Each structure stands twice: as structure tokens, then as C-alpha cells.
Chains A and B, each alone.
Chain A
Amino acid sequence: MKVLRPTSRNEALDMLADDPSIRPIAGGTDLMVSWHHHDKTGWTLMDLSRVDDLNTMSMDDHALQLGALTSYWDVIASKDVTNAFPLLTVAARQVGAIQIQTRGTWAGNIANGSPAADGVPVMMAYNAIVHLQSRTESTDVPLDQYFTGYKQSVRKPDQLIVGITMPRTSHDHEWFHKVGARSAQAITKVGVAMVKNGSGWRVVANSVAPFVCRCKRLESALNDGQSFATPADVADILKHDIAPIDDIRSTARYRQTVLARLIHAHINE
């Protein structure tokens, strides 16, 4: 195993261009979970932690910009960001435990591509844009078009996630709920973020499909003013939006049922 330690963005992009099999890491929290299960022979890791210009977070009247190294804790610790984007902090506080929150990054949460990612639903609900950069070009991709399959995305091997932007708009309504098997150190069994602003509802769910996804049928139904008398009415629509599976953590049936029950209870509160 080899570890590269670039100290600038260009150096990192050069390294990636030269060897697209490199695995960039920021906090390393996803990598460490499965560290013992891998034969790491032939791996090359690129540790981004010394690339200072990726370790930025800024907010103006229009948008919040997260750098590739912005951690969950950076957001939790910022009152301004928490006030403008409350769900980011709500979700960040439920990632692992404090040790993970101080190391794990928002960009890494996207890059890892887990369907159970806790940071992704709230960013997607807030209309996040992912900034990808390679040695030769820069591309912006809306987060809800970033994933293409289980742990698959539009990111090309020579591209690095260099930042994330979320537009500031006023929200009439915002809500996030994570269901884990315990109150901390838990991988999400089912989770949902719901945000409503001038242009309508955005409903994003995790752990119910191969990747974190918007529930577009449900969004349309809510935008049309449809009401839901029972959880089953919600489930009827959701079944077109999600495709949960059975695994060692839960069952498809539980994920489907509970997502519908959570949303039903919430919109009728």
C-alpha cells in the first residue's frame, strides 16, 4: 500500500490524472470501518488533509460553500450555517458519534456513495451542487443527478470533488428523521429529509434504494396538494420512488413501511 500526500489542489489533481486508480481520502472514516476486511496490497491512497484550499467553508447571502475537507463538526460549530441550513446540523449530529463527526467530511459522504449516507439526504433536499475538477476541466453536477447506481456516480476517475454549494432560499418547512438501530454509532435503516420552499417540496430518502434518492412522485403529489389519510396512502405513492432491500440490518418491508409512516405522521402533525 502507498500513501500520497499532496499539499496543493493542483498537485492532487496531477496525481489523480497520472493514476486514476488512486483512492482520495479526507477524514478516512468510511475507509477505517472496513480496514480489516481488505487486502490492501496494491492500494494507493491520496491523503487530502494537507490541501489547505480544500479546507474552506463560506456563506454569503446567496449560498453556502463547503470545501472538500469541510467536516460535519465545522457545520455543527457554526451558528450562522446552522441557522441558515438547520437540517445539516441535525443530520451531522446523528453521524456515528462525535469522534466521527470531527473527522468525517460532507464531500467524503458523497464520494463514498453509500445508500445509507446521513449527510447526503439533507444536502440533496437543499438543492446541493457538486463541484468536480480534474487537471483539465471543472464540472458542476446537481447532487440529485450525481449517483447512477449502488456506489456508482458520474464522477470520472481523474476527477475530485472539490466543493459543494447550496443556494440560500427561505424554507417554509424543513425536517430530517434518521432511524438507526440505536441512538448513536448506528448505520441508517431508513432516513428522510423534507424541505419546502417557493418552488415546492423536495423529499429525499436514504437506505431505501441503491443510492440516496429524491421521491419525485411524492413531491408531485404534495405539490398538487394531495392529502394522505393513512400511511398506506403514502406508501402507495412511495413504491414508485424507492426500491428497498433486505439485508443484515433490516428488511425491505420495514424500510418501506416506516418511511411511509414517518412521512404520514409528519405531514399530518
Chain B
Amino acid sequence: MKKYLLLFLLLAVLIPGQLAAQTRGQNVLTGIQRKITWHTPVDSLQLMAKALAELQTTKPNAYLTYWGAYTQYHLYFRAVQNKTEAEEHLVKGIALLEDAPTKTAEHYALLSLLQGLNLQYASFLTVVFKANTAKDNAEKAVALAPDNLRAHYARGVNDFHTPKQYGGGKVAVAHLKKAIAAPEKPDPNPYAPNWGKADAYCYLAQAYQAAGQLDLARKYATEGLSKYPNHGRLKGLLAKM
């Protein structure tokens, strides 16, 4: 009798813990895109990164990988003043995506963006080759999903930041225009991402600005801001124009 009582007690202690852990894991993914925005505080992002990593160890999954890397992408921008920490976030995000056994266009696009940011920490000998890898991954994303917003966004950003003498600045506008015309969420899965359009407007305006076409730059910045009135970078960009 004592034995059964002990067993019951043990189950009573363990099962709620297990259920709570599962619920926590489940909660991380529910509405995750809404939880990660440019306004999300650092500590929330860190908690989310931890929860995603924990869940990834028990239930490896392409979405968990993606959001884990995306959280690192946001953490990088929060830590940009601290070079070491910022680079650590990029390296973590890149490693997560590179280790993913199956990658979709979304994975390749995000990987390209992270690799592009990471170029600032590369030595002069490695920078050219790392830049090629970032470009290749953006092109893979576009090849896999020709109508994907974030694939075109990644390719456009990559081209925008590539110096002219290395062939940059030729296709940024075309890809960013495709990005703003693409649906935000082609994958109906609730865990799929939908971010990027406001940022694409911002880069498109910057690309036109860099080309000296200020009218078009102002037009797209205004259009972007009308659709995303809370986007800080668009506001700032338009204010400077």
C-alpha cells in the first residue's frame, strides 16, 4: 500500500511539472511573430531565446530553429554597442541555421541577413568570401521561393550593402520592389514568419536615396509609413528627407 502511495505522490509531483514545461514550450511558439518586434525588450528576447533553445533540445523543429535565429537577429540590434556581445548573437544565429538539416527559403533568407551583418567582424582576408556566402544564401532563398517577401528582402539588402566595385547596387531596387509586392505570410502555418515588409519599404527608400532619386525615395517612405505608422526607422528616414 505504501508503495502505491509513494508512486502516486511521485506522479502527482512529476506530472504537473511535465505538463507545465510542455505548456511553457507551447506558449513560446504561440503567436511568436507578434512577440518579437523592434519594441520587444531585451530581457523578453533573452527569455524567449532560452525557452526556444530548451524546446529545441527535446523537439528539434524547423520553426524553432528559425525563431531561435530570429531572436538572435533582434538581440544583435539590441547589443550593437557592445561588439563582442553583438557578434556572439550573430554567430549563434548563424550556427543555428547552418546546422538545420532542412532549410526553407525563410531559413536561407535569415541566414543571409545574419551573415551579412557578421561581415563587419570578418578579417580583411575573409570578408570577400564571407560576403559571397551571404549572397549565395540570399539567391538560394529567392530560387526556392520566388514570391517570398523575406527572400527578396534579404537579396535586396545584400545587394544594397555590397559596394559598387564588387558588383553591388544593381539589383537591390528590383528585389525590394518585389518584396513590398509579395504577400507577408505565404505559409499559412501560424508559426510561420510575416515580418519584413516595413523594413523592405525602408531599404527601398534608402536605395532610391542612394541613387539620387529623392522623389521615389520619399514616395516609398511615405507609402511605407502609411501602412506601418509605428515603424521608427521609416519615420526617421522620412523626417531626414
Q: Do A and B come from one complex?
A: no
